[in-house]
Chains A and B, each alone.
Chain A
Amino acid sequence: MFLPNLAAYGTPIDPLQALDRVDPKVKKELADIALNAAKSKGASYTDVRIGRYLNQFVATREKRVQGVANTESYGIGIRVIANGCWGFAATNNVTRDGIAKAAEQAVAVAKANAKIQGEPVKLAPQKGYGEVSWKTPLEINAFEVPVKEKVDLLLNVNDIALQNGASFVNSVIFAVNEQKYFASTDGSYIDQDVHRIYPSFTVTRIDRASGKFQTRSSLSSPMGMGYEYMHPKAEEKVAGILPRYKARYDILEDVKFAALNAAEKVKAKTVEPGKYDLVLDPSHLWLTIHESVGHPTELDRVLGYEANYAGTSFLTLDKWQSKKFQFGSNKVNVVADKTQVGSLGAVGYDDEGVKCKKWDIIKDGVLVNYQAIRDQAHIIGLEESQGCCYAQGWDDVQFQRMPNVSLQPGKEKLSVDDMIKDVEKGIYINGNGSFSIDQQRYNFQFGGQTFHEIKNGKIVGMLNDVAYQANTQEFWNSCTAVCDASDYRLGGSFNDGKGQPSQSSAVSHGSATTRFNGINVINTARKI
């Protein structure tokens, strides 16, 4: 775990400055300058995003503070259609002149590119919402919590790790606040206040004599919440061989188990490669869902817009059109949802002014829909966008990004214990580890944080050097059981990368513990 490169997030500021606000009235005036300037230069459509992106990192290792950083990035991004082609320009010079110049540049970019353009851009119609606002439902704004409180908590985390045998420990609290203002020539002026939080740690155990080391990272999830996520609640815990967490996290409890796990991992037996039934906890499965369901159902990938970077998709339009492509077993139901409370993807409106919603992607195992934005909607016969447009900052152009994509819990009552009781030869995996998948999302390989061997319905000990490899469609068709809603939890990532220049977005994936039969497990131990 590294202290993130601050320059990538914004410029450092005083923590108190983070509590300042720009009045929406001022933002409306600035936005109107851009809308008018672009129109006067020949734009047929314009949208403007005035963004103030705040980040706070508190990073520690062992007994010391590695860094406390507050960053701010403030500026304006202007996107236009001129001569049927997109153009975009951005500046942090948010003055009348700076905005007018950026608007002119955006139109110039569009006109230059129109000379080599094929089909003109076709936007799905979008009504203007007038002046509206939305805010992440939260109890405690993380930026209002004193830095000292966060530092003390993390040093306490580190202390518990060291007391329980850790050789090293890094811990971090990362808080995000996106203050986004969107305006377009459709007549929307949308002010949004979006909050996210991500506490995490990594414990390392070194065995000098053997030269071996092992790590165990936190089982927390990044959330679309305030600092209340850091206040544990008994009803938000899931008991089992390891404690896991729903909408409240107990970092002090998790780190104690982590230190013990890391010590166990150093001595755990190496896995015998072969076929196993896998029991995957939501703290692990979210990443498999993300890579093998979330990405291949992105319409821009399906159409080829990501061919030069993230790749395309095996879920081609003909498979969707057939209405019978069996993506997974009939236990597999996946929804896209930009409205889910506590999730990273939840906002009121996307970054092209479309109100957010929820829809089915996989229904009873069959592929039924994708994820689309305004200039793609017509391609799959939609009359309106699904609201999946996002830009990581004011200086990045918005494009199609993944909504929260989640596996629905089983309809019949099933606990994790009951699921494990039924497994003869299996591995129970918690936490996400190494991950890799091909550019069309067929072949993947995943690791994890902890691997417990299941023999004849019982957990018998810990394994090392485990990774599973599978084909996406075969894997999801081997899904034989999903635990019920009482086990449903969110996992997610702050840093889903896509696009050129590459942009990061935050997204959640919910699931309950799920069983997959007969999956190929390899042994990853090597000697150098």
Chain B
Amino acid sequence: MAILSKEEAQAILKKVISFSKADACEVSLSGSDGGNIRYARNAVSTAGQISVMSLGVSSTFGKKTGTATINEFDDASLQKVVQRAEELAKLAPENPEYMPPLGPQTYSESTTFNQPTAAMTPDTRAEMVGKSLSVSKAANLEAAGFLENSTGFNAIMNSKGLFAYNKGTDVSFSVTVRNQEGTGSGYVDQSFNDLNKMDTLALSKIAASKATKSAAAKAIEPGKYTVILEPLAASDIIGNMFRGFDARSADEGRSFMSKKGGGTRLGEQLFSENVNIYSDPLNPELPSSTWDGDGLPIKRTQWVENGVVKNLAYSRYWAAQKGVQPLAMGRSIVIEGGNQSLEDLIKGTEKGILVTRFWYIRSVDPQTLLLTGLTRDGTFYIENGEIKFPLKNFRFNESPVIMLNNVEALGKPVRTGSGMIPPMKIRDFTFTSLSDAV
């Protein structure tokens, strides 16, 4: 019951709208069904299966909105939830930033749903985790990991006739493999819409190899180094930058996109010329929904072109204030790169540090977007195009804005987290102290 088809969802939403007496009514219906296994010390620790579905109604009189939800779907319940939303709206404070609902929109068909992923069972999950455990057990290493799959749908309708529906699946897997002595650790993290792309055996072998190769790490002095960031490490840092593309906070003077003296840095060369960033919900490797929460279509958008900021995201309210078109922040971020593999980038490096991933990244200064965090699960010294030895982990203090001004090379993008991210070669990356952590 938790996953409804487009037609089933539309029928319920139409019925809800027909009960509305408010100036405007917006209804959302969503459900999800999924399960997970968590394992550690080479054995399962927790596992679960969760199924939920609910319907929310927002009714508005003038600029006063009330919201109510329910998880029963008979006619009487649907009538009751509409009534309750209308009663609450009459009591609500006026919202001066209220925006009336959008009219009907046209959306591209998303490709987020995959049947084999939707059909996963507890046994499928156990089998996939079993493959991962076979790698660590055979190599006398210790694995801790997490496998999760979910199927979900979202649908919205409003009293102006807008209707949007999306159904999607996701399977994600991560594993940390450590040696018995606790001196080496490796990690992989991958998610797909399509189960058939997920190979827990191959991924676990990569983590196991890093665990073995990162043992007996040497300490070198912290300072500024050329780094090669694996896509996961690059994604860890760059992912923190996109909130800054919000036009309102930039206009208000409280973001790194704000300009001295007022205004924003839209149109400025903020990054190296080889930096190009766009989002595209139809990217075949990284599909996402083609509409956002209030029904605004999400389309391919260029955010940075040759290092120049090309767009900022505008909510419908802020766009109306500024007299521009609203623009939703895309979910499928692509940082363009070249054709070089990670290995190619290493080969072309005289001296540098290879970073598998970062950990515990926090903002230090929103003005410059300075971030701090640490390397984790495989940090290596590169000399004359080869990995020479594992390094003790570092703490860094660096800004992604500064980092994307120091780009030496970008490799071939791969799906990592919620983006297509290339491995990156960056000069003058700032490490400020050493950590004993493995």
Residues on B with C-beta less than 8 A from A112 are: 121-123, 125-126
Contact check, A395 vs B44: say whether CB atoms are below 8 A apart. no
* Complex CA–CA separation, A213 to B260 (angstroms): 11
* Complex CA–CA separation, A397 to B38 (angstroms): 11
Contact check, A434 vs B363: say whether CB atoms are below 8 A apart. yes
Residues on A with C-beta less than 8 A from B87 are: 14
A423 to chain B, nearest CB (A): 24
The residues in B between 170 and 186 inclusive whose CB is less than 8 angstroms from any CB of A are 174-176, 178, 182, 185
Contact check, A436 vs B372: say whether CB atoms are below 8 A apart. yes
Known contacts A305-B40, A443-B437: A116-B46 contact under CB 8 Å: no
Contact check, B144 vs A442: say whether CB atoms are below 8 A apart. no
Residues on A with C-beta less than 8 A from B38 are: 308, 499-500
Contact check, A443 vs B433: say whether CB atoms are below 8 A apart. yes
Binary B-proximity of A280-306 (CB < 8 A = 1, otherwise 0)? 000000000000000000000001111
Contact check, A308 vs B175: say whether CB atoms are below 8 A apart. yes
Binary A-proximity of B351-386 (CB < 8 A = 1, otherwise 0)? 000000001111111111110111010000000000
Contact check, B436 vs A440: say whether CB atoms are below 8 A apart. yes
Contact check, B365 vs A12: say whether CB atoms are below 8 A apart. no
Binary B-proximity of A247-273 (CB < 8 A = 1, otherwise 0)? 000000000000000000000000000
* Complex CA–CA separation, A210 to B47 (angstroms): 53
The answer to whether the Cβ of B252 comes within 8 Å of any Cβ in the partner chain is yes
A94 to chain B, nearest CB (A): 10
Query: Which of these binds chain A: B64-72, B100-108, B339-347?
Result: B64-72
Binary B-proximity of A158-196 (CB < 8 A = 1, otherwise 0)? 000000000110000000000000000000000000000
The answer to whether the Cβ of B35 comes within 8 Å of any Cβ in the partner chain is yes
* Complex CA–CA separation, A145 to B43 (angstroms): 48
**Which residue of the partner chain, among A167, A209, A527, contacts B261 with CB atoms under 8 Å?**
A209
Contact check, B71 vs A304: say whether CB atoms are below 8 A apart. no
Known contacts A89-B49, A442-B435: A208-B130 contact under CB 8 Å: no
Binary A-proximity of B261-278 (CB < 8 A = 1, otherwise 0)? 110000000100000000
* Complex CA–CA separation, A244 to B325 (angstroms): 46
The residues in A between 403 and 446 inclusive whose CB is less than 8 angstroms from any CB of B are 434-443, 445
Known contacts A109-B122, A116-B130, A525-B365: A151-B42 contact under CB 8 Å: no
Residues on B with C-beta less than 8 A from A167 are: 252-254
The answer to whether the Cβ of B56 comes within 8 Å of any Cβ in the partner chain is yes
Contact check, A116 vs B41: say whether CB atoms are below 8 A apart. no
**Which residue of the partner chain, among B40, B48, B397, contacts A89 with CB atoms under 8 Å?**
B48
A398 to chain B, nearest CB (A): 9
Binary B-proximity of A384-399 (CB < 8 A = 1, otherwise 0)? 0000000000010101
The residues in A between 292 and 329 inclusive whose CB is less than 8 angstroms from any CB of B are 303-309, 311-312, 314, 316
A1 to chain B, nearest CB (A): 12
* Complex CA–CA separation, A191 to B129 (angstroms): 37
* Complex CA–CA separation, A113 to B54 (angstroms): 30
Contact check, B437 vs A304: say whether CB atoms are below 8 A apart. no
Query: Which of these binds chain B: A132-140, A463-471, A479-487?
Result: A463-471
* Complex CA–CA separation, A110 to B123 (angstroms): 10
* Complex CA–CA separation, A92 to B72 (angstroms): 10
Residues on A with C-beta less than 8 A from B54 are: 11, 92
Closest to B207 in A: A308
Contact check, A304 vs B52: say whether CB atoms are below 8 A apart. no
Chain A residues within 8 Å of chain B by Cβ, number: 82
Query: Which of these binds chain B: A27-35, A47-55, A80-88, A234-242?
Result: A80-88
Contact check, A211 vs B122: say whether CB atoms are below 8 A apart. no
The residues in A between 44 and 95 inclusive whose CB is less than 8 angstroms from any CB of B are 64-65, 68-69, 75, 85-93
Residues on A with C-beta less than 8 A from B226 are: none
User: Which of B40, B97, B393 counts the most chain A CB atoms within 10 A?
Assistant: B40
The answer to whether the Cβ of B138 comes within 8 Å of any Cβ in the partner chain is no
B294 to chain A, nearest CB (A): 14
Query: Which of these binds chain A: B88-96, B212-220, B327-335?
Result: B88-96
Binary B-proximity of A517-528 (CB < 8 A = 1, otherwise 0)? 000101011111
Contact check, B256 vs A528: say whether CB atoms are below 8 A apart. yes
The residues in A between 197 and 226 inclusive whose CB is less than 8 angstroms from any CB of B are 204, 206, 208-213, 215
* Complex CA–CA separation, A85 to B92 (angstroms): 50
Contact check, B402 vs A526: say whether CB atoms are below 8 A apart. yes
Residues on A with C-beta less than 8 A from B324 are: none
Contact check, A311 vs B437: say whether CB atoms are below 8 A apart. yes
**Which residue of the partner chain, among A212, A397, A441, A467, contacts B367 with CB atoms under 8 Å?**
A212
* Complex CA–CA separation, A465 to B41 (angstroms): 42
Contact check, A64 vs B40: say whether CB atoms are below 8 A apart. no
Known contacts A11-B56, A305-B40, A526-B402: A211-B261 contact under CB 8 Å: yes
Residues on B with C-beta less than 8 A from A308 are: 38, 40, 144-146, 174-176, 187
Residues on A with C-beta less than 8 A from B125 are: 112
Residues on B with C-beta less than 8 A from A68 are: 92-93
The answer to whether the Cβ of B133 comes within 8 Å of any Cβ in the partner chain is yes
User: Which of B48, B49, B397, B433 counts the most chain A CB atoms within 10 A?
Assistant: B48
Residues on A with C-beta less than 8 A from B262 are: 208
Known contacts A65-B93, A88-B49, A305-B41: A500-B146 contact under CB 8 Å: yes
The answer to whether the Cβ of A108 comes within 8 Å of any Cβ in the partner chain is yes
* Complex CA–CA separation, A524 to B364 (angstroms): 7
A56 to chain B, nearest CB (A): 13
Binary B-proximity of A103-128 (CB < 8 A = 1, otherwise 0)? 00110111011011111000000000
The answer to whether the Cβ of B399 comes within 8 Å of any Cβ in the partner chain is yes
User: Which of B47, B125, B370, B395 counts the most chain A CB atoms within 10 A?
Assistant: B47
* Complex CA–CA separation, A527 to B366 (angstroms): 12
* Complex CA–CA separation, A204 to B366 (angstroms): 12
Closest to A92 in B: B52
Binary B-proximity of A493-504 (CB < 8 A = 1, otherwise 0)? 000000111000
B100 to chain A, nearest CB (A): 18
The answer to whether the Cβ of B259 comes within 8 Å of any Cβ in the partner chain is yes
A341 to chain B, nearest CB (A): 32
The answer to whether the Cβ of A447 comes within 8 Å of any Cβ in the partner chain is yes
B73 to chain A, nearest CB (A): 12
Known contacts A14-B68, A308-B144: A439-B365 contact under CB 8 Å: no
Known contacts A12-B67, A12-B69, A75-B52: A87-B47 contact under CB 8 Å: yes
The answer to whether the Cβ of A3 comes within 8 Å of any Cβ in the partner chain is no
* Complex CA–CA separation, A435 to B68 (angstroms): 37
Binary B-proximity of A9-24 (CB < 8 A = 1, otherwise 0)? 0011110000000000
**Which residue of the partner chain, among B129, B178, B256, B434, contacts A307 with CB atoms under 8 Å?**
B178
Known contacts A469-B433, A500-B38: A436-B361 contact under CB 8 Å: yes
The answer to whether the Cβ of B432 comes within 8 Å of any Cβ in the partner chain is yes
* Complex CA–CA separation, A167 to B254 (angstroms): 10
Residues on A with C-beta less than 8 A from B174 are: 308, 500
* Complex CA–CA separation, A412 to B280 (angstroms): 64
* Complex CA–CA separation, A145 to B260 (angstroms): 44
Contact check, B133 vs A399: say whether CB atoms are below 8 A apart. no
Which of B's residues lie within 8 Å of A, judged by CB? Answer: 35-38, 40-54, 56, 67-71, 84, 87-88, 92-93, 95-97, 121-123, 125-126, 129-130, 133, 142, 144-146, 148, 174-176, 178, 182, 185, 187, 252-254, 256, 258-262, 270, 359-370, 372-374, 376, 393, 395, 397, 399, 401-402, 432-438
> Would you give 29 A-B contacts (Cβ < 8 Å), ordered by A?
A11-B54, A13-B68, A14-B88, A64-B95, A90-B48, A91-B52, A92-B53, A106-B49, A109-B48, A112-B125, A112-B126, A113-B44, A113-B129, A118-B41, A210-B260, A213-B258, A304-B142, A436-B362, A438-B359, A438-B395, A440-B437, A445-B397, A469-B433, A500-B36, A501-B36, A520-B433, A526-B370, A526-B399, A528-B402
Given contacts A443-B435, A469-B432, 6 further A-B contacts (CB under 8 A): A12-B68, A92-B71, A204-B254, A434-B362, A434-B363, A501-B148
